[in-house]
Structure 1
Amino acid sequence: MTSGAGVQPADREPTAEEDLEEAMPKMQMTRDRALLLGLFVVSAIAFLYFVLPQLSDVRDTWGRLGNGDAVWITIALGFQILAMGSYVLIFQGIHVPPGSVITYRESYLITMAGLAATRLFAAGGAGGVALTAWALRRSGMPRREVAERMIAFLVLLYGVYMAALLVCGFGLYFGIFPGPGTFALTFLPGVLALAAILIMLAVGLVPDDLERRLERYKPKNPRLASVVRRLATGPASLSGGVRFALGALRRPDAAMIGTVSWWGFNIAVLYAAFRAYGDAPPVAVLIMGYFVGLLGNLLPLPGGVGGVDGGMIGAFVAFGVDGGDAFVAVFVYRLFAFWLPSVPGAIAYFQLRTTVGRWQEQRRAGKALQHAV
């Protein structure tokens, strides 16, 4: 298939037909990235099985993994399933407009396939973003709407993240919630979260017709004019996505419940993992340790492997949680949250390719029927 794959002028947007013919993003890596990933995995396995067991404290901690409370482990699994269901609920409510060919089944396939793609790409899930955008465009959605809906999805989802950092961070620092109020782990993240929220609200003030307004100042040089247009497209799409998110907040529905329950059930998985091996830290500490640790996902590691784990364990230890308890709880949490969805995600990737192919055949059949009439 060659449609949409050819070289296009820099100042031309792909047509709707080219979007519909766009090839599926492939879950593959460059040779260099594959070598780096292989080296990382081998090093991690060697460290876990040959270095850690030689450390007496860690050896005892590692041995605790087989002694967890089966009831709490089962509860953690149940929370993870509910978290995955919440993610599908958000996707369907934010990404899918009325009349779309995307049903809840397709939303499940896209979200799970996106998770699988994220496992193979670094930089905070860029692979999943590319796959999601591709699927939405192939459903017939215009590029501008795809961008705005995806931005709105991220604004709503990570708005809850920022709100949690703000409330729990300041709450711990000022003694409203029980737990240590370390400046670097409570007040500072709260300030950064507040700044992020204010910036996003300010972005929403950018006019949605910014591109049209800049047309009157369009440079005569075609290359410079193309640069100006592209610079205007980004802020306009971002602003549209923020306004879309704010509009959704004014009309709360099931998707809004999902934005909270997604994070809530993930934290509940971590809570159940702590309870399976002992006591859990106070709720505010649990939330802050979880969200501060997730910042490790920004490191250029596949799926945040190593960065998130170490970030969470380090955050909990800094909050005064026993290192052994933090180690086993985070390990079990990542087992459920990271590795468990990988298998159904890989299956969903291939199912999604078949589903999108069916959409294409249905469109061709519709066009043929129109021509026949």
Structure 2
Amino acid sequence: MADIRERDDAEDLAVRDPAEAEARADRDVYVVEPLLPQRLRRPSDLLRFLATLLAITGVLVLALVAKQTLNGLEKDVTEGATRLPELLSRVATFLGGAALLVVPAAFAVERVFHRDGLRVAEGLVAAILGMVVAFLLGQWTVTAAPEDLRLLLTGNRDIEPLNTLLTSVIAYSTAVRISRRPTWRALMWGVIGLYVLAFFTGYQITLVGGIITVLIGMAIGYGTLYGVGSPNTRPPGNAVLTALRKLSFTPVSARRIDDDHQGSRRYAVGLKDGTTLDVTVLDRDRQVAGLPYRLWRRFRLNSETRRRAIRSLRAELEREALMAYATQAAGASTPRLLGTSEIGTEAALLAYEHLDTRPLDEVPDDEITDDTLAQIWEQISLLQIQRLAHRRLTGEGIHLDAAGRVVLTDARSGEIAAGDLLLRLDVAQLLTYLALRVGAERSVRTAAAVMGPDALAAALPLLQRIALTRETRAALAKDKGMLGALREQIVALKPRSKVEEIRLERFRPRTLVTIIASALAAYFLLSQLSRVNVVQVVTTANWAWSGLALVASFVSFVAAALMLRGFVPEPLPLWRTVLVQFAASFVKLVAPAAVGGVAINTRYLQKRGIHPASAMASVGASQLVMLVFHIALLLLFAYITGANTANSFTPSRGLGVALLAVAVLVVILLGVPPLRRLVTERMRRLFSNVLPRLLDVLQSPAKMIESCVGTLMITLAFIVCLDACVGAFGGSMGFTTVAVVYLTANAIGSAAPTPGGLGAVEASLTLGLTVAGLTPEVAASAVLLYRLLTFWLPVLPGWASFAYLQRHEAL
């Protein structure tokens, strides 16, 4: 009877309080999952900390550039403030200072009253750190900082560079997350604004000092939050079950399984009717995970291929749900989405039907049959008919069930109403992944049987590493020839298809290196030009020597044409080949010195009907022989210089250090395996098939003589040009000495990533001529004239040659 009464009491309680009964039912279901940590280091706090540091750097750089504007602005504001009544100014200063202390204290009392004292303690830690950091930075600014920085932060007045009180309050407000409370946030920032304005008009803080103080306080607050961690607000497994009950499911068991590739939690939930749900939980604090990589891809790729870097929790939930319903409507074999729900304000869930499958990554290669491949392509065809792009066709997104049927999963990254480019990207990605598993021939053959040759031909220009997923790119690093093999198979399948070039990248990483190096080179050139009067250089130069230098510069282009002709067994017209060399001088404006000429010459040979491999081999052979001649001439002239002019050209300690640094760099490049592999791979690409081409040249004495004469003439022409430029300003140092300087500087310039070796060549030549005995003024003038004749002056005829050759389809 007692058991019956207890059961009746429980039923009465369920009727009276359904929420309590639901919570009791959830407690009765044990969720097998690791204990959630009490505190988490949120990636968002770290990103805000880094963004604040970046903002501090940006403000300082901008302030240093616009010093005069800031000084004028401060002067105008302070002059206007002097017109205010003194009493009003004093009252504003007092109220601002008092409120700056009262508001944080009131917020702390309110938090303690709501039993949130731990947050207040974190804020106090940040406030103490803010006070210490502001004091130390202030002392450093006054005693040891650069003069410009000190003037920006103090205005040359006896004040604190960084306001210690304001830094502490900002750090405290950031650490207690006052920004999440709209009323308190508005009140706090209003008080901060009043305080900064009062102190600024009272000459107690500068404009830049106030901005930097606020940013440093925020950085310390975010740094504290990330360092000590934040309370874990992720809902536990019981909260997930509560949300499922609201969707009319009846869970009887639950266990956490491996997270998905984006770090979202996943649960396998058993229901009362014997079925199972696969539940994905989207946590708000995980929404910014991997944000730097997504931002980089969004910045680097064209708009049609990139994804949104930041998406709210609600938007992410709706996106995945919409894609799941769309794939179901398309008839594709995917797990059915049975329900979605938010779990409070910090998470959301998606409940899918459970299918007993295994990912394709876990299937051995020999078990992937042609029938399996055909099924995969049939599923993709269904998506493409409905303009759905999956965007993650990897071994984790393709599953096989017990009967060998294909199931597509992981549609979160997909797109509805996708454009042609995204659909073709899916084909390229799947082709590459399957080729890595079963070979290029089977991948292309089975795809063509389902999708048709035209679909593969359309995907051909998208077989680029940058277009593929991160996992596929990593796999391609071990099989570098796979993309080439795929292209060959598709071309063999559809040989007459017209392939358009598609550029997915806005820029390449090496472009950034070139831009940065070019900026540094431009800074160096401007500093060099500031020492030289350009008008005086032009008017005082000896025109006889300058004319000789101009002729030598022109001869170098003819010599380059002879060199190229000598390494090509097929006949080449001389003057058109000379025009190609002028065109290469135009391309050097946007490409490193060692790259532009190679690309133009290779393209020219291909347009002459020479096979691409043979064209590349001819250019590679010319570069290899040029390198050999360069080293041999450097050793020869160095020996002659050391034997005959030891007294006038004694290497300085600085030159010895430079040579030692070059030697150390070579040792590092050859001694570190990844760097050595990079160098050898680049060299292999450039000089592959070179030996057979050299043997072809050696069989023709005329070609051999032409190639050697052209190679030697190029170097001698440039040496004569530089020597004549030195003579144009009254310098005299010997032909062999000039040769050593030129050959050394040219090697450095060829290795520089700047267009035409800009900056590196000028610096090396100026240093070499100065060490050899010229005065810095004469050396700089001679180098300026030399670069004018060999780099800048040929740009205009080079552009005309480039346009002419393109118009006549020679390039």
CA contact (8 A) 1:137 1:143 kept: yes
Amino acid at match of 1:168: F
Task: Tell me, in whole angstroms, the C-alpha distance in 2 between the residues paired with 1:342 and 1:320.
Answer: 32
Determine helix, strand or coil for the equivalent of 1:120: coil
TM-superposed deviation, 1:113? 1.7
The Cα of 1:159 is off from its aligned counterpart by 2.3
Show the 5 A alignment for 1:186-225.
none
Q: Does 2:763 align with 1:294?
A: no
Matched letter for residue 786 of structure 2: Y
2:558 to 85, 98, 101: 85
Name the SS of the counterpart of 2:733 in structure 1.
Answer: coil
| 1:80–1:337 Cα contact (<8 Å) kept | yes
In the other structure, the counterpart of 2:780 is: 327
The equivalent position to 2:803 in structure 1, one of 350, 355, 358, is: 350
Q: Report if aligned partners of 2:766, 2:779 keep a CA contact under 8 Å in 1.
A: yes
Q: 1:152 aligns with which of 595, 601, 621?
A: 621
C-alpha displacement at 1:45, in angstroms? 6.9
Task: Report how far residue 320 of structure 1 moved.
Answer: 2.4
Residues 248, 80 of structure 1: CA spacing in aligned structure 2 closer, same or farther, 3 A cutoff? farther
2:723 corresponds to which letter in structure 1? Y
In 2, the alpha carbon distance for the partners of 1:324 and 1:77 equals 21
Cα distance, 1:248 vs structure 2: 6.6
Distance 2:500 2:562 in 1: 27
Q: Secondary structure at the match of 1:87?
A: helix
Instruction: Tell me if the contact between 2:561 and 2:574 (Cα under 8 Å) persists in the aligned partners.
Output: yes
Task: Please state whether the residue corresponding to 2:809 is helix, strand or coil.
Answer: helix
Which residue, 141, 145, 158 being the options, matches 2:610? 141
Query: Do the aligned partners of residues 348 and 37 (structure 1) sit closer, same or farther apart at CA in structure 2, a change above 3 Å counting?
Result: farther
Question: Is 1:254 aligned with 2:706?
Answer: yes
Aligned to 1:11: 485
> What are the Cα deviations for residues 227-265 of structure 1, in whole angstroms up to 9, with x where unaligned?
xxx999877524335545666789643332221111111
Q: State the distance in 2 between where 1:68 and 1:287 align.
A: 21
- Cross-structure match for 2:764: 311
Q: 1:292 is aligned with what amino acid?
A: T
**Structure 1 residues 343, 47: CA separation in 2 closer, same or farther (over 3 Å shift)?**
same
Whole-angstrom distance in 1 between the partners of 2:566 and 2:559: 11
Report the equivalent of 1:114: 584
- In the alignment, structure 1 residue 129 sits paired with structure 2 residue 603: no
Hey, what's the Cα distance between the residues in 1 that align with 2:786 and 2:683?
A: 41
Q: Secondary structure at the match of 2:567?
A: helix
Q: How far, CA to CA, are the matches of 2:563 and 2:687 in structure 1? A: 24
Q: Quick check: 2:617–2:687 contact (8 Å CA) kept in 1?
A: no
Residue of structure 1 equivalent to 2:546: 73
SS at match of 1:11: helix
Moved more, 254-263 or 61-70: 61-70
Letter of the aligned partner of 1:89 in structure 2?
L
Measure how far apart 1:329 and its partner are.
1.0
Contact kept in structure 1, 2:569 and 2:696, CA below 8 Å: no
Pair 241,96 (structure 1): closer, same or farther in 2 beyond 3 Å: closer
Q: Structure 1 residues 4 and 137, CA, compared in 2 at 3 Å: closer, same or farther?
A: farther
| 8 A Cα contact 1:119 1:125, kept in partner | no
Letter in 1 for 2:573: T
Structure 1 or 2: more helix by fraction: 1
Q: Measured at CA, do residues 350 and 289 of structure 1 come closer, stay the same or move farther in structure 2, by a change above 3 Å?
A: same
CA contact (8 A) 1:148 1:244 kept: no
Contact 1:113–1:346 under 8 Å retained in 2: yes
> What is the distance in 1 between the residues matched to 2:540 and 2:570?
48
| Aligned mates of 1:37, 1:22 — CA distance in 2 | 35
Match among 566, 575, 597 for residue 105 of structure 1: 575
Aligned-partner residue type, residue 256 of structure 1 = C
- Secondary structure of the residue aligned to 1:303 is coil
Q: Return closer, same or farther for 1:336/1:22 CA change in 2, 3 Å cut-off.
A: farther
How many angstroms does 1:293 deviate by?
Answer: 1.4
How far does the alpha carbon of each residue in 1:182-231 deviate from its partner, in whole angstroms, 9 at most, with x for none?
A: 39869x98xx99xx9xxxxxxxxxxxxxxxxxxxxxxxxxxxxxxxxx99
SS of aligned partner of 2:485: coil
Q: List per-residue Cα deviations over 1:134-185 (Å, max 9, x = no partner).
A: 2222322112211221122112223221111111123333x25564253986
The number of residues matched between the two structures is: 307
RMSD: 4.3
When residues 23 and 330 of structure 1 are mapped into structure 2, their CA distance, relative to the original with a 3 A threshold, is farther
Distance 1:348 1:22, change over 3 A: farther
Secondary structure at the counterpart of residue 588 of structure 2: helix
Instruction: Choose between structure 1 and 2: higher strand proportion.
Output: 2
1:269 CA drift (Å)? 1.1
Residue type of the alignment partner of 1:296: I
For structure 1, the residue ranges without an aligned partner over 5 or more in a row are: 53-57, 197-229, 360-373
Partner SS state of residue 689, structure 2: helix
Contact map agreement 2:698 2:704 (CA 8 A) in 1? no
Q: Which amino acid aligns with 1:239?
A: L
Aligned-partner Cα distance in 1 for 2:726–2:605? 38
- CA distance in 2: counterparts of 1:142 and 1:334, whole angstroms: 35
Q: Separation in 2 of the partners of 1:92 and 1:323? A: 40
Residue type of the alignment partner of 1:125: A
Q: Which residue of 2 aligns with 1:166?
A: 635
Q: Give the Å deviation of 1:4.
A: 7.5
Distance 1:334 1:254 in 2: 27
Which shifted more, 3-12 or 287-296? 3-12
Residue 96 of structure 1 and its aligned partner are, at CA, apart by: 5.5
**Residues 108-147 of structure 1, C-alpha deviations (whole Å, 9 max, x = no match):** 232222221122113x331332232222223221122112
Unaligned segments of structure 2, at least 5 residues? 1-457, 464-481, 667-681
User: Could you tell me whether the CA contact under 8 Å between 2:582 and 2:798 is conserved in 1?
Assistant: yes
Larger Rg: 2
Alignment of 1:51-66 (within 5 A): 52=530, 58=531, 63-66=536-539
TM-score (norm 1): 0.67
Is 1:22–1:134's contact at 8 Å kept on the other side of the alignment? Answer: no
Secondary structure (helix, strand or coil) at the match of 1:301 reads coil
Q: For residue 44 of structure 1, report the CA deviation from its aligned partner.
A: 5.6
2:788 alignment partner AA? L
Alpha-carbon separation, structure 1, partners of 2:752 and 2:684? 29
- Kindly indicate whether the alpha-carbon contact (under 8 Å) linking 2:566 and 2:706 is maintained by their aligned counterparts in 1: yes
Higher relative contact order (CA 8 A, sep 6+): 1
Deviation for aligned residue 1:275: 1.3
